[in-house]
């Protein structure tokens, strides 16, 4: 009997010693010390809110978030006839739902626009990118064309992308894009096919798909799609250049039921160059557009703009300027657009105030045809 008790005592001692020295069960969150002072296993989820991240909830394999972009403007437009407009406007009020799986390889975005006379769905997007060299973008979104058009609104350093870029880019559309950033981001390629015609009522009737493409080279490495490199961890000078284009065939909406507008083939081609340092941003863009209908009527237009920004006070105050020349075609006057501004960053791009001035001039004439001055605030998370 004494031998049995001795054997049981030794067995229990070994069992307790082994249990005390065992590691806590894995949660799938990766190696690291147990943060709990009681030695309890790590939680499988976490969540919170910040201006940098919005409202978020994450597990080891999934992250879900809610964001918002809101801009409020007070502006005045003046012309030779006097004050054309004066007052407040709400150009953007865009909540969004976003999610990512598999360490960001699969991403989802749903974003409506709440400002304006009616609610519109801007983006309904799924992006699958298993490797940097290959990705697939599906849904409704901005076709990948010019650099400014590809840069999200919260990361633009001035209100808007400029009259020249607005004239030559396409609208949001439903389609698919194959894209990649091989060779460590030194090469960029995008090729997309869309239904075209935009997402707003009153857009032209699309007869053939819109095809958009872009090819870029960044000799020193990736160049982020932002106009505020001070908040994008750009520590050394980088630059890149690209060519891009898109084409579609459409028939304009009928104004007179008795008439039937001729179908038009539209072709747009362009290029851009960007140079960034930790405190400066320079962007040059150029475009050309050709349009021809079945009766042989031909129209062409072109435009170019240059934009520059420099941080006067690190991460706080930025001085900006933009100049553009636009020939819209259809026998209209060539225009010059001259802009300047200041941005005051209270919390990076997440909370900022901007002072902006623009004047539009018919080249060959003295003086600007109209002036626009505005104060804009932005909240983004």
Tell me the pLDDT tens digit for each residue of 176-190: 999 999 999 999 999
Structure tokens at 290: 């050709």
pLDDT at 171 over 90: no
pLDDT at 70 over 90: yes
Tens-digit pLDDT profile for residues 223-247: 999 999 999 989 999 999 999 999 9
The answer to whether residue 59 is domain-embedded is yes
Which residues are registered as beta bridge partners of 342?
A: 319, 355
**251 compared with 318, residue with greater pLDDT:** 318
Residue 349 CA to chain centroid, in angstroms?
13
Closest alpha carbon to 368 in 340, 336, 345: 336
Structure tokens at 246: 């898109």
Per-residue burial over 92-102, b if 16 or more Cβ lie within 10 Å, else e, is bbbebebbbee
Q: Check which CATH number belongs to the domain holding 306 and give it.
A: 2.40.160.10
**298 compared with 347, residue with greater pLDDT:** 347
The answer to whether residue 183 is domain-embedded is yes
How many CB atoms within 10 Å of residue 378?
Answer: 23
The answer to whether residue 1 is domain-embedded is no
The answer to whether residue 65 is domain-embedded is yes
Q: Is residue 125 within 8 Å of residue 137, measured between CB atoms?
A: yes
Residue numbers of the domain that contains 151? 52-380
The structural domain count of the chain equals 1
Instruction: Using pLDDT thresholds of 50, 70 and 90, give the confidence band for residue 308.
Output: very high
The answer to whether residue 21 is domain-embedded is no
The answer to whether residue 225 is domain-embedded is yes
pLDDT at 193 over 50: yes
Q: Is residue 306 within 8 Å of residue 323, measured between CB atoms?
A: yes
DSSP state of 109: E
The answer to whether residue 36 is domain-embedded is no
The answer to whether residue 29 is domain-embedded is no
Closest alpha carbon to 186 in 160, 222, 237: 222
pLDDT at 296: 78
Question: How far apart (Å, rounded) are the C-alpha atoms in residues 197 and 225?
Answer: 26
CA angle 155, 159, 164 (to 5 degrees): 100
Q: How many residues does the chain have?
A: 381
CA angle 377, 120, 73 (to 5 degrees): 15
How many CB atoms within 10 Å of residue 277?
Answer: 17
């Amino acid at each position: 009997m004494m031998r049995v008790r001795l054997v049981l005592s030794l067995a229990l001692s070994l069992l307790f010693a082994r249990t005390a020295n065992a590691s806590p069960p894995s949660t799938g969150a990766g190696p690291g010390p147990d943060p709990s002072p009681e030695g309890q296993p790590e939680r499988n989820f976490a969540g919170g809110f910040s201006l940098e991240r919005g409202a978020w909830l994450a597990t080891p394999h999934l992250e879900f978030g809610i964001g918002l972009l809101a801009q409020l403007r007070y502006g005045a437009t003046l012309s030779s006839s006097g004050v054309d407009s004066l007052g407040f406007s709400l150009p953007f009020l865009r909540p969004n739902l976003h999610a990512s799986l598999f360490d960001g390889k699969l991403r989802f975005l749903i974003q409506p626009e709440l400002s304006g006379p009616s609610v519109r769905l801007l983006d309904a997007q799924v992006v699958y990118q298993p490797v940097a060299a290959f990705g697939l973008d599906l849904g409704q979104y901005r076709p990948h064309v010019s650099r400014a058009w590809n840069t999200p609104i919260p990361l633009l350093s001035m209100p808007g992308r400029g009259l020249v870029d607005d004239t030559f880019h396409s609208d949001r559309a439903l389609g698919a894009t194959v894209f990649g950033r091989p060779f460590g981001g030194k090469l960029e390629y995008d090729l997309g096919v869309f239904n075209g015609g935009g997402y707003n009522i009153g857009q032209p009737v699309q007869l053939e798909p819109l095809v958009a493409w872009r090819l870029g080279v960044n000799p020193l490495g990736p160049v982020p799609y932002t106009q505020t490199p001070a908040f994008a961890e750009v520590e050394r000078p980088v630059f890149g250049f690209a060519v891009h284009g898109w084409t579609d065939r459409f028939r304009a909406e009928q104004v007179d039921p008795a008439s039937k507008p001729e179908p038009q083939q539209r072709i747009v081609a362009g290029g851009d160059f960007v140079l960034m340092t930790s405190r400066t941003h320079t962007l040059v863009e150029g475009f050309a557009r050709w349009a021809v209908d079945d009766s042989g009527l031909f129209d062409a237009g072109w435009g170019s703009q240059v934009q520059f920004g420099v941080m006067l006070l690190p991460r706080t105050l930025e001085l900006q300027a933009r100049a553009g020349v636009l020939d819209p075609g259809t026998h209209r006057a060539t225009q010059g657009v001259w802009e300047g501004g200041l941005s005051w960053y209270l919390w990076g791009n997440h909370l900022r105030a901007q002072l902006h001035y623009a004047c539009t001039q018919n080249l060959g004439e003295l003086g600007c045809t109209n002036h626009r001055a505005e104060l804009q605030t932005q909240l983004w998370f």
